[in-house]
Amino acid sequence: MLIAVPDVLDAAGVARVRGIVDAGDWIDGNATSGTGSALAKRNEQLPEECAAAREAGGIVLDALAASPLFVAAALPLKVFPPLFNRYAGGQSFGAHVDTAIRIRRGSDFRIRSDLSATLFLEDPQAYDGGELVIEDRFGAQTVKLPAGHLALYPASSLHHVTPVTRGTRVASFFWVQSMIRDDGARAILFDLDGAVQRVAAGQGQGDDTVVRLTGIYHNLLRRWADV
């Protein structure tokens, strides 16, 4: 399930994050690569332990917690502290699948990567290329979102970033361990939640149908959740 989450950061939030990360000391992006990814990855990245990444990552985490759509789609149990990368001058990231278990360097924090997320931090008109291409059962899905918008997709999917031939693509990326491990079950809950909200908007939260559907949602969540 590929979900676009708009306006995770507003224009002021994007500017604030960019002001922090642009002043950071960037390094080779393979600092966090697995063995397979290192063969395909050509970009730059902020060191995950640096002050700029931690400060900007905190802003992103606060914004995610305030996004009802992100919470409904991801049902997050843990979020890996956001990282930041940039591509320019033909840099790209070849086809790969994200590592199943992500461990924060120098700590015992680890997550199962159920979902991958890319938060775009540059307007698409400012650079050529840099599309995120995600392979799913319906074929290749190409994503290039406005600054402040987020793409959320299964970490198990094959995906790549096309070469950036003009300008610079800047983004935050991270992984989510969901309370619902199975992508299909998570999609059912997301669709049901959306349907309940639409009925409630027309009938009111106290409507008997809304109450019963809400109960079904929570009973399924109770049955499937891994917390």
Question: Using one digit for the tens of pLDDT, what is the confidence trace for 134-146?
Answer: 998 778 999 999 9
The number of angstroms, rounded, from the C-alpha of 176 to the middle of its chain's C-alpha atoms is 8
The CA distance from 65 to 132, in Å, is 24
Phi and psi at residue 11, in whole multiples of 5°? -60, -40
Among 157, 178, 199, the domain-final residue is 178
- Residues 219 and 158 reside in one and the same domain: no
Q: Is the pLDDT of residue 73 over 90?
A: yes
Beta strand spans in the chain (E): 3-5, 27-28, 44-45, 76-79, 83-88, 93-96, 101-103, 110-112, 115-120, 128-129, 132-136, 139-143, 150-154, 159-161, 164-166, 168-178
- Residues 130 and 207 reside in one and the same domain: no
- The token pair at 72 is 């409904």
pLDDT at 218: 98
Half-sphere exposure (Cβ direction) of 97: Cα atoms closer than 13 Å: 10
pLDDT in tens, 12-33: 999 999 999 999 999 998 866 5
Residue range(s) defining the domain that contains residue 204? 183-224
- Residues 42 and 147 reside in one and the same domain: yes
- Residues 146 and 65 reside in one and the same domain: yes
Q: Assign 36 a pLDDT band (cuts: 50, 70, 90).
A: low
- Residues 94 and 205 reside in one and the same domain: no
- Residues 165 and 206 reside in one and the same domain: no
- Residues 194 and 157 reside in one and the same domain: no
Please report, for the domain that includes residue 145, its CATH number: 2.60.120.620
pLDDT at 34: 56
- Residues 159 and 202 reside in one and the same domain: no
The amino acid present at 201, given as its one-letter code, is A
- Residues 84 and 187 reside in one and the same domain: no
- What residues contact residue 51 under an 8 Å CB cut-off, 6+ apart? none
Mean pLDDT of 68-92: 98
pLDDT at 1: 85
Mean pLDDT of 6-11: 98
- Residues 116 and 80 reside in one and the same domain: yes
Query: How many structural domains is the chain composed of?
Result: 2
- The token pair at 219 is 């009973």
Instruction: List helix spans (H) across 111-167.
Output: none
Please report, for the domain that includes residue 195, its CATH number: 4.10.860
pTM of the model: 0.93
Q: How far is CA 15 from CA 1, 29, 98, in A?
A: 29, 23, 28
CB 60 within 8 A of CB 171: no
- Residues 16 and 125 reside in one and the same domain: yes
pLDDT in tens, 132-190: 999 987 789 999 999 999 999 999 999 999 999 999 999 999 999 999 999 999 999 99
- Residues 53 and 153 reside in one and the same domain: yes
CB 221 within 8 A of CB 152: no
pLDDT above 90 as % of the chain: 89
